[in-house]
Structure 1
């Protein structure tokens, strides 16, 4: 409060207000009245109030009151306090908290004053806010440089035209990731969210010069080693390093709200995790299993990519099997790590999905190494790699189509999954390990039946050889509209459905999730779309396909388990829709698990399941 002043003096910030406690000394009668009125208003509205008042001739006048704005940490504490004071119920407390705001508690943020100054003077561009958090560091242009600088203890921002699976190691060592191309569900965005790393994608204003390691943005040229900052919550890019503040979830109140959320939610919350570290973090944040493991990310580790490339370049089944045999124990170890991290909870492992051209070498040195390993000429390897490129790879030779063409890939992955499950079950007899194998990109039931035949024959042989009992499930991703339309047929083979809403959205709308950011802003401006359909589920079109698939699938197989494993699994409005159409679980990146837990509880409070 201020003396001899108007309300505008407080709001405008031209004078420094005094702490409200000092009012007790200056205007004791008015302050006593003020405390009474505060209690009356908070009791009436049953929420924290932002009140404006004035004192004239020692008399208190209340001017207005409204529900006060609050940070995520404050919202959680206020909700707990209101429960303890008996003013609101547990359900009302959960409904008061904005689920999306929990992001602020789980990621680094910028120091408030430093950010305010930077917002005035240092914004050079804006992209898509792809993964929340704040990051500051020096610019690097290659994943190799990111690893090198990161290992040396330096904070770096990886700047790329776009990322691909082979950039994973560099992304791990980066504070933040900035890309010229891509949207909410591009590779960079999805992987960054999984790692809890800040990412700004699709900044088309960047003029990139990778060869000379520099880029231009906002009239400035940035070279390798220059400092920049990214705000993954707003998409803003700054030309200085802004001081960051580490995440502090305030576990006491946070943990209490999460327990309440679990008490009232009706659907499970699982996580999308590709490494034991991701799985462990998700488990700590309350995940009840893994809804998606992208096995392709595992192929890029040291000693693996070379063998996988040898498999791709093999001319006979025997050669392919020999190369895959070297990868199998590594995959098995990965799967065991994931199962251990989740302590016996469900783990869904998706078989190889991306087209093979994503794995072939582009660097001359790597091409020479592959040629030497295969006993072929460098020219032959280059021609082979070029032949794998497709005009539209996202609708090309990928997913279950790879397993139809090369059953030995599915064979190897099945052996790795089942052997891992057997080992984990043996180590933990009290756990109930039931691995779930997911066949991606199915559009025709005969495709699924063909691949499932390979999986079942391989799995049963491994289990028989072990001489023990082990249950496993085989299901599919529903990501092609035809799969949703023929879900009754597909459910004859599939024991569970997992909606890959990233691809399902892409194929239903008919636009690329990596290129849509170029034209979607015009659609928002023209009010054609209100939000990014890759960030918030299109309940009218894509949602209708999902609802149809659930209904048709359960007509064939009443016990059919259904869930979401696309990025929509972490969006509150999409989670509410998933609850309403009867899904069993949602799955999202580790750092979105708390958001999903709260959103799932809010959905069940609004529309309780019978």
Structure 2
């Protein structure tokens, strides 16, 4: 049987999202609910996948089905594409299964040509509308299908307005619109050396192919990587009968949310424009009216819309983001989807809907994207500092948060500044989808044009970025590198501050204050903790980090990197002294200087964790990393060590390794220099005893982790040193204390021989940074120089150092978990690489049955929620 690549809206439903994409599935569902949805059909995501398999060509089988369903659409609508009596015009829109607002392409008014436009003008008795629709189509088609930048067409519009002495597009007459069509087509011919296509079926196939192509445009690829969306999903294409909001003053278009996407308030929230088409609202070219004014302009449509909003929110059990058009007073629904919202709004909506009895706590937990919480965990502006500051202007509070930084005027500048470690505010007349990477690199986004549903606002809310939009008081001089507001000039590089909660913009840097988990946030996280089965620990090397993580809900420390404690002041000197020592006695003397410092650090960690488990990894990096690099530093150390500089040069040269990541490090150091393991054990156990004595109510059980083990014999050798030292300390102190010795699984051999290693290891912690590096054979420090090519060519969907490679690295983790449990059924299993704070990787940890994940302090709440969602999804 031939595969079905096309579905009428009425043939689908909301459960067919993978096939029909989010937009197609929801249009089908609204149609089945009896809502006023213009007729249409969906070309499936499988057709997109087939398009790429066929070397970016739509095959004959898919073409045949498209034209078959075009016939069905014509029969439903009573109109015909290209007809000179009753022409059908359609929109062609993308629709991936995951919402990707603004990332892919859309074409409106398709089917217009030189004869159809005259028919439309006569049928509507509105030549201006007809030619306005035609010039929009030429501009969109030229941009999206043929790659002619839309800004070139905007310049032609500006030229016509200047000639006519008018400022607004609305003041363009029918004759002006006709002139624009002529000039647009002339420009098209000049650039492409061919006439603008007049055959509507040729137009349709060109548009469909362009939407398929847009699945792999730069902004879509970047958005997918940022949101962990696989390239294999593809996008569906929706072909839908046009309804027109630009036929006159009884027509309009708008975007609305069933609740406020910035604050979460239970109140209809949105914007509309009369005598406009859909793209006008989100593009920010005209300033729209708020949705509550619609009841005055089009009361019947407004009442019907309120009814539909209520129905959709109850049906989808979530806040909805909807697009609508009013044609001659009649309401039509063009889209609904779960609305993007700020983190504050997400928490309020989730908790409110539970209180309203609309959803369960499990549903509430699934409504909030874990990554969103990040915006709540970073500093906000200090209220006292705000009182002392005066805004230079105020715009629309499009996405809450606070950001201070240098002014930049382009996405490219923002990206470069981030790479240089500078904080910036991206200031734009209006943002477009191409700006997404620059928006992501900025502390905040500030736009002159656009409303609360503009591209800048929607994308900023989705990524948790601070945004103030529609700041019309700003006079932009982007090419000259400055803007003026209320007579005051601000140049590129000047520092400003943006408050996305109030819309205020300040001409100075403003002090920030730490975030806190309170109110809806605290209550929501309590639900998450009740639901999850994975514990969440933190990676912390200092008491300050450990304290922050504990306040964010960490249940212990999964990784303390002790080498980070060696680089300060006197410690680095003692460490260098140890490294260049020639005898064991000299090394012990140097280590004796370090031990009290390490002990104090460990006491601080135990205190911060208040009896929760603390896993301390022994010295890992190669010794050359601690040695001086410059001639001046080498001479200074030689003088301190009372040795000739030439001799120290020789020691440093001897320690240099061609590939130190695979060299003399980790457990190998403890085997060569057992006194290092002795010193660290003395510090770990003595610190634990001291804190236990101060806090008898706590149960402190140190966890000692030996890194880079690849053989059970390595672990056994070092464990004997640890046990001998620790047992004597505990016995001499007359305390009842348990401790545990385990290893970090970061070498493929260790994963494969985990059953053997578990004979000595009481716990495994998967160090996925190195495990990924060694499994792929990539250097995580250098891979960035070529991985971008892998993304561009769809070899990888994402960075394997950011999202766990579940196929390869994941298989090693599964083998190790099974092997470890076979030998030691009660073995504790955790993960402490960067993947420990990544929601997709946490899903995998839940499925494998690990005991805990460990992540950086500011990702602890994210991991707590991701772990709860994983428990809900996978039923464990």
Report if TM-score (shorter chain) is over 0.5.
yes
3-state SS in 2 of match to 1:586:
strand
The residue aligned with 1:124 is 413
Cα distance in 2 for partners of 1:130, 1:259 equals 37
Q: Is the 8 A contact 2:539 2:560 kept in 1?
A: yes
Unpaired segments ≥5 residues, structure 2: 1-270, 382-396, 426-441, 444-464, 466-480, 482-491, 496-506
1:567-602 deviation per Cα after TM superposition (whole angstroms, max 9, x unaligned): 111111111111111110000111111111111111
Choose the corresponding residue for 1:265, options 532, 535, 541.
532
Cα distance in 1 for partners of 2:494, 2:650 equals 40
Structural mapping, 1:73-222, within 5 Å:
73-107=344-378, 120-121=409-410, 123-124=412-413, 126=415, 135-136=423-424
Cα distance in 1 for partners of 2:345, 2:740 equals 44
Q: Is the 8 A contact 1:136 1:242 kept in 2?
A: no
Cα distance in 1 for partners of 2:511, 2:333 equals 37
Cα distance in 2 for partners of 1:562, 1:593 equals 18
Residues 474/103 of structure 1: CA separation in 2 closer, same or farther (3 Å cut): same
Q: Is the 8 A contact 1:108 1:244 kept in 2?
A: no
Q: Is the 8 A contact 2:407 2:424 kept in 1?
A: no
Q: Is the 8 A contact 1:135 1:244 kept in 2?
A: no
Cα distance in 2 for partners of 1:112, 1:360 equals 50
Number of aligned residue pairs: 513
1:251-270 deviation per Cα after TM superposition (whole angstroms, max 9, x unaligned): 32222221111111111000
* Structure 1 residue 324 corresponds to structure 2 residue 612: no
3-state SS in 1 of match to 2:363:
helix
The residue aligned with 1:46 is 317
Q: Is the 8 A contact 1:136 1:228 kept in 2?
A: no
Choose the corresponding residue for 1:362, options 629, 635, 640.
629
Residues 70/116 of structure 1: CA separation in 2 closer, same or farther (3 Å cut): farther
1:152-200 deviation per Cα after TM superposition (whole angstroms, max 9, x unaligned): xxxxxxxxxxxxxxxxxxxxxxx99xxxxxxxxxxxxxxxxxxxxx9xx
TM-score, normalised relative to structure 2: 0.55
The residue aligned with 2:693 is 426
Choose the corresponding residue for 2:646, options 366, 379, 389.
379
3-state SS in 2 of match to 1:16:
coil
* Structure 1 residue 522 corresponds to structure 2 residue 789: yes
Cα distance in 2 for partners of 1:91, 1:69 equals 19
Cα distance in 2 for partners of 1:492, 1:598 equals 34
1:406-453 deviation per Cα after TM superposition (whole angstroms, max 9, x unaligned): 000000000000000001111111111000000000001111000001
3-state SS in 1 of match to 2:845:
helix
Q: Is the 8 A contact 1:569 1:587 kept in 2?
A: yes
Unpaired segments ≥5 residues, structure 1: 138-174, 177-197, 199-219, 221-225, 230-240
* Structure 1 residue 252 corresponds to structure 2 residue 541: no
Structural mapping, 1:458-473, within 5 Å:
458-473=725-740
**Deviation, structure 1 residue 58:** 6.5
Cα distance in 2 for partners of 1:402, 1:540 equals 32
Choose the corresponding residue for 1:564, options 831, 838, 853.
831
Residues 308/248 of structure 1: CA separation in 2 closer, same or farther (3 Å cut): closer
Cα distance in 2 for partners of 1:580, 1:128 equals 40
Cα distance in 2 for partners of 1:309, 1:480 equals 28
**Deviation, structure 1 residue 55:** 5.4
**Deviation, structure 1 residue 528:** 2.1
Q: Which has the larger radius of gyration?
A: 2
**Deviation, structure 1 residue 486:** 0.9
**Deviation, structure 1 residue 127:** 7.3
TM-score, normalised relative to structure 1: 0.78
**Deviation, structure 1 residue 64:** 3.8
* Structure 1 residue 6 corresponds to structure 2 residue 294: no
Q: Is the 8 A contact 2:406 2:424 kept in 1?
A: no
Q: Is the 8 A contact 1:499 1:563 kept in 2?
A: yes
Structural mapping, 1:154-553, within 5 Å:
251-553=518-820
Cα distance in 1 for partners of 2:370, 2:567 equals 35
For the aligned residue pairs, the C-alpha RMSD in angstroms reads 3.2
Task: Select the structure with the greater relative contact order (CA < 8 A; seq sep ≥ 6).
Answer: 1
The residue aligned with 1:190 is none
Q: Is the 8 A contact 1:400 1:451 kept in 2?
A: yes
